[in-house]
Amino acid sequence: MGTPKFIASCWTSGGNVGPGFDSEVSPIDPIDRIEAIAATGWTGFGLPAADLKVVEETIGFKSLYERAQELGLNHIEVEFATDWWLDDSQWRETWELLIRAATTLNAKMIKVGSAFGEPVTDFTPFIAPYRRLAQEAEAIGSKVALEPIPFCLLGTVSQGADLMAAVDHPAAGLVVDYWHIFRGNTSLEELERRVPIEYVFGIELTDARNEIVGTLFEDTRDNRTLLCQGEQDVVGFIKTMQRMGYKGDWGVEILSAEQRSKPLLEGLQDAIDSARKAFELASN
């Protein structure tokens, strides 16, 4: 495998903001943000809907895209839509924002999730709505990637893979976030056995302690660590994905109170350095 390309997943570069905050808008100017991402060696980035709305209403997606291209940031992701299986009025506004952003930014994927709750045992109601998302994403040259989350209705990557098989559309796939793998009690053996690599549109690398602090949502938002500074088998996960045949870029999502407290450049540098260390260990 050649030198990996690392993507600063959206919360890694957001500064003092996170999911569930009163405002999820980053305090960092979007151009300053992507310039810092480029300066620390990343090859792409992700942005959430709250920040994309600000960009659209201020500098515009075209200006952001042009600057990203000047900086060599060619991999762009947008996120995060949910409730897409419900009546259009409840989620369509966010989805259409992501579609507009993905169109102009030439986004590689649009990330979506499901609502908080106990994982469902029957995902039949999600099949046709997800296929519709895939069709709409394909129409603009993008893809839609579901992130299964243990404390949400679609809870495991294995269930996500079964849903993709039922959807049966080339623009319908998954984001495999390593935090959700180990907190969802999915073994690396199960991951390799149950998830066809063609369904994996993106990866988010992270690490964490074994102990869960607070709710699962609080733990994922506040307590992730840099790669190889927690107690999870990040190296084993990387090796598993490589053995499965993953050839794409590697997102890194360092989502924690510690990361939010750091100056932007320091946080981004620490994150990418930890990713490089993990791949060095995986190559041995």
Query: How confident is the model over 167-221, as pLDDT tens digits?
Result: 999 999 999 999 999 999 999 999 999 999 999 999 999 999 999 999 999 999 9
Q: What is the DSSP string of 211-272?
A: S--SSHHHHHHHB-B-TTSSSS-HHHHHHHHHHHT--S-EEE---BHHHHHS-HHHHHHHHH
Position 92 in a domain = yes
Question: Nearest to residue 251, comparing CAs of 2, 1, 13?
Answer: 13
Question: Nearest to residue 281, comparing CAs of 223, 225, 242?
Answer: 242
Question: Nearest to residue 145, comparing CAs of 115, 170, 116, 179?
Answer: 170
What pLDDT score does 17 carry?
Answer: 95
Position 13 in a domain = yes
pLDDT at 2 over 80: no
Position 1 in a domain = no
Widest CA span of the chain, in angstroms?
Answer: 51
pLDDT at 1 over 60: no
Position 188 in a domain = yes
Position 54 in a domain = yes
For residues 219 and 256, what is the distance between their CA atoms, to the nearest angstrom? 9
Position 264 in a domain = yes
For residues 129 and 112, what is the distance between their CA atoms, to the nearest angstrom? 12
Position 255 in a domain = yes
Q: Domains in the chain: how many in total? A: 1
Contacts of 237 (CB under 8 A, 6+ apart): 178, 181, 188, 191, 205
Q: Residue 89 — very low, low, confident or very high, per pLDDT cuts 50/70/90?
A: confident
How far does Cα 221 stand from its chain's mean position? 13
Position 226 in a domain = yes
What pLDDT score does 3 carry?
Answer: 82
Domain that holds residue 146: 6-282
Report the half-sphere exposure of 25 (CA within 13 A, side-chain side): 10
pLDDT tens string 90-145: 799 999 999 999 999 999 999 999 999 999 999 999 999 999 999 999 999 999 99
> CATH code at 217?
3.20.20.150
Instruction: For residue 201, say if its preceding peptide bond is cis, omega within 30 degrees of 0.
Output: no
Q: What is the DSSP string of 143-194?
A: -EEE---TTBSS--HHHHHHHHHHH--TTEEEEEEHHHHHHTT--HHHHHHH
